[in-house]
Amino acid sequence: MITLYSTHCPKCSVLEQKLKQKNIPYTIIDDEDLVVEYGRKHNMRSAPLLDVEGDAMDFIRSIKFINDWQG
């Protein structure tokens, strides 16, 4: 399961668009309190964050994950 934690900032929009382009199924959480809570839990301070099967990824790791996606 893939979850995008988003504040709808420009970087968040880039990740969401890339997920859609690759047809990667995901759920989005855009409740700001939940985004902040998730970030704190994983010692990450900025959105977007991608959770892939419990693995928390920052923007750069998320882009690499999406680019490498084979479906």
DSSP 20-32: HHTT---EEE--H
Query: What per-residue confidence (pLDDT) applies to 71?
Result: 75
pLDDT digit string (tens) for 2-18? 999 999 999 999 999 99
The total number of structural domains in the chain stands at 1
Q: Count CB-CB contacts under 10 A for residue 60.
A: 8
Residue 8 belongs to domain with CATH number: 3.40.30.10
Instruction: Tally helices (H) and strands (E) across the chain.
Output: 3, 4
What is the percent of the chain with per-residue pLDDT over 90, rounded to a whole number?
A: 97
- pLDDT above 80: residue 22: yes
- The whole-chain average pLDDT of the chain stands at 96
**Could you tell me the two tokens for 44?**
């990450």
Query: What per-residue confidence (pLDDT) applies to 48?
Result: 96
CA dihedral 16, 34, 54, 65 (to 10 degrees): 20
Could you tell me the residue range of the domain that residue 15 belongs to?
2-68
Query: What per-residue confidence (pLDDT) applies to 2?
Result: 97
CA dihedral 16, 30, 57, 15 (to 10 degrees): 10
